[in-house]
Amino acid sequence: MTTNRLTNKTTFVTGAASGIGAAICRRFLDEGARVIATDIDPEGLRRLRELDPERVHVVTADVTDERTMADAVTSGVAVFGGIDVVVANAGAGTYGLIQDHDLADWKRIIDLCLVGVFITLKATSAHVNDGGSIITISSLNAIQPSAGMSAYCAAKAGVAMLTRVAAMEMGARGVRVNTIAPGLVPTNATAGMFAVPEVIRQFEENASLGRHATPDEVASVAAFLASDESSFMSASFLSVDGGGNTGRYPTLPAIFSSLQ
């Protein structure tokens, strides 16, 4: 069900070209918002803009590059004015046991998933209107460890805490800052997991609801947090994992070594 809860709100979304970010942009448009959509994928952004060229402004921007992100914000604000809602969504994972994890790859994930959220908050915060809403996308892995995913788990736990600090710093302006922690969602990022049936079987078995999520099920929570319906929520950690946090993560090292 969609309403018009975001009419006349200007939203700024990172990682907007595919998966959860694209679903959030579509949902925000359905609810009446204007969208400043940023990503490193210009083709995905072009497809998004075609949905509504008047209400979608796209900027190719890398969340790990502070100057590029500042320019993206300036460009979006020049078109639509101040920002009401920010979604710091861009992210990706990697796999490797700590003892032989390539350091550059480990740092790449921290840079993208954690530093990228910091840069997004820094670049947007001065432009977020009083009473605005900032949403970070963390993960079930912020609270549930997975062997083989140390960089991603550490980064997402960092995002959850960064969100709480930002909520303290911005609360005086009435700006709310909350994080959404999805469980398994089929996107480009999880295509590798979906190629291994045992990973998905364990995931679904461990979730109370016995299944994975759709991107829209995450987008609807983002729309709620973006709207005035969540007006007294800040520093919250919203699990959207079908109860997966009550179970355990799939045993990736055992599954992956059995494939070799």
Ligand X SMILES: NC(=O)c1ccc[n+]([C@@H]2O[C@H](COP(=O)([O-])OP(=O)(O)OC[C@H]3O[C@@H](n4cnc5c(N)ncnc54)[C@H](O)[C@@H]3O)[C@@H](O)[C@H]2O)c1
Active site amino acids? 152
We find the least distance from the C-beta atom of residue 234 to ligand X, in angstroms, to be: 20
**DSSP string for residues in 47-97:** HHHHH-TTTEEEEE--TT-HHHHHHHHHHHHHHH-SEEEEEE-------B-
Residue whose CB is less far from ligand X, 110 or 129? 110
Run of H or E including 161: helix 150-170
Taking a C-beta distance cutoff of 8 angstroms, is the pair 203, 250 a contact?
A: yes
Chain residues in the site for ligand X (CB under 6 A): 14-15, 17-21, 39-41, 44, 62-64, 89-92, 112, 137, 139, 182, 184-185, 187-190
We find the least distance from the C-beta atom of residue 63 to ligand X, in angstroms, to be: 4
Q: Which of these, 92, 5, 7, 80, lies nearest to 37 by C-alpha position?
A: 80
What is the rounded (10 degree) CA torsion for 115, 120, 125, 131?
-110
Residue whose CB is less far from ligand X, 137 or 170? 137
Instruction: For residue 241, give both structure tokens.
Output: 């994992």
Residue whose CB is less far from ligand X, 129 or 216? 216
We find the least distance from the C-beta atom of residue 14 to ligand X, in angstroms, to be: 6
We find the least distance from the C-beta atom of residue 203 to ligand X, in angstroms, to be: 9
